[in-house]
Chain A
Amino acid sequence: MKRYIPVALFALAAFVTPYSVNRVFLHTGIERKMGTVQKIFYFHVPLAWIMMALAVTCGIAAMIQLRRQSRLAEATSIAAGELVLITGLGVLITGPIWGHATWGRAWTWDARQVSTGLLWLIFAAFVLLRRYGAGGSDRLAAALAIFGAIDVPIIYYAVKIWKTTHPTTDVVGSLPPQMWNALWPCLIALVAMSIGLLLVRIRQEQGAMALDDAWIAFDERGAGKRGEVGDA
């Protein structure tokens, strides 16, 4: 039963994505100031929300991992951390593409851009630590994830204050409700996609952990046998 949840989510995404694209491009007006390029908004903004949610998920899972020594929580934090990297990359690439068309410059040191970039760096450090850290660094990585999740608002606030010394650019003003409504199908599609990938990755990580344990048990048993033979 559990196996089919990701499949169902992917199927949902596969249905909703064409619908959302249809709705965004054919049934929603073109924004007056920015023109067609504003269509990036419909996938860029939900992706940014998903990234934040995944960062917080990663932090909470890491907290549970530290408190309860839960394998599931550990796998969740790993999976969420990786997906933060993926979605963050999406946000960080589509943002400048949009900015390039709207403001004429890809990187404008907008507070959101900078804070997203910094957050992405923290989770890149998390993934690096998970991958290349020595034994015992899983707990350290968990601490890093907790720090990262708590840093989310602090970074945003810090960059906002830091920004007061820089010229500000008006990003999205107020959009008509029609455009907000077209956002929801895109959000559903992306959320279904991300949760599906998250679940797959969690299962995979759990499998990897179990496999590691099995290998170690096997090796230890083998070593024990050899030891007995040697003694005799």
Chain B
Amino acid sequence: MTGRARIPIASGLARREGLGFHSGGFAAAASPARSCYNRAVVPLLRQAWLLARNDLRQELRDLELVLTAAFFTVVVLVMFALAFAALPASAHVLAVPGMLWLGVAFAGALTLTRIFDREREADTLRALLTWPVDRVAIYFGKLLVSLSIVLGCGALLMPALALLFPAAQALVARPLESALLLLLGSLAYCAVGTLFAAGLATASGKNVLISVILYPLTSPALIFALVSTRALLEDHPQFPTYLGQLAAVDAVVVVLGAWLFEPVLLGGARKPAAGPSSRTRSRRGEAT
């Protein structure tokens, strides 16, 4: 399935597109002797890592995504603090998990709407799809990028919440557990988000729909994350169990996202001229 449409024009295109790949990685991926190993996990992750590193390197050059997401997180945090400052201290344990994950969800939606922007503006996603890269590697690469940005926002949120609300001390006092929780929760969110952001990026720029899709769809993962966070704050003995359940949701969502990425982007077995919605739209556009 994923082995189809592999055109060995890798390194030249890579240089022309100005994306700083190590040609070695792609030459290796493109050579027929190695291509049969592409299904194996290690080359896939390697490709994903190369793609993600390229994106992150570009990101580090202008810091657009990171800075806007971080600033947005701070703004959301301030709004939360203003809205919930008057809560009685006993309610903080209940409110802090909600604030944490709503913050992550908001910042994540912002990041995910932007994560494919560069591709859409330069139309490099199409170019990327003609590359001899496993499509799943593109998915994992983008997932890695969005995850790292969302994790950055979470790393900002957690200490700030601990500072603002004494009940959230555990977020700082038990950094290992908090980090794991943040990682698992954000992973589920980003795994769903990357898939739909990619789909909306190819569709002509209706990115608004991503929050419409994303919030209901990630609600189970966010609920698990909420429950786990509360267990962490209350030092509940079932915290590892909840974390395990969150990890199980992660596994389901990541596998599903990776599996659906190619059909969503390319249209499955054979490519139709256009979907019915675009047919209708184009016709209506002509009619009016």
Contact = CB atoms under 8 A, between A and B. Distances in A.
A219 B286 CA distance: 9
B217 interface: yes
Given A135-B274, A139-B199, A216-B283, A147 B217 contact: yes
A125 B217 contact: yes
A5 interface: no
Given A68-B269, A125-B213, A143 B278 contact: no
Contacts of A132: 206, 209
A137 B220 contact: no
A54 B129 CA distance: 34
Interface in A131-161: 132-140, 142-144, 146-148, 150-151, 154-155, 157-159, 161
Interface string A17-46: 000000000000000000000000000000
Contacts of A3: none
A108 B11 CA distance: 60
Given A125-B217, A143-B195, A161-B245, A137 B206 contact: yes
Contacts of A130: 277
Of the four ranges (under 10, 10 to 19, 20 to 34, 35 or more), the interface on chain B belongs to 35 or more
A209 B245 CA distance: 42
**Residues of A in contact with B, size category:** 35 or more
A74 interface: yes
A2 interface: no
Contact of B223 (A67, A124, A150, A162): A162
Given A147-B256, A150-B256, A154-B220, A136 B213 contact: no
A195 interface: no
Interface string A97-108: 000000000000
Interface stretch (B28-36, B63-71, B76-84, B260-268): B260-268
A165 interface: yes
Interface of A: 66-69, 74, 118, 121-122, 124-125, 128-130, 132-140, 142-144, 146-148, 150-151, 154-155, 157-159, 161-162, 164-165, 208-209, 212-213, 215-216, 219
Instruction: Please name the 10 residue pairs, one residue from A and one from B, whose CB atoms are nearest each other, closest first.
Output: A135-B278, A138-B275, A140-B199, A121-B216, A134-B203, A158-B220, A212-B279, A158-B223, A66-B263, A154-B220
Interface of B: 192, 195-196, 199-200, 202-206, 209, 212-213, 215-217, 219-221, 223-224, 226-227, 230, 242, 245, 249, 252, 256, 260, 263-264, 267-270, 272, 274-283, 286
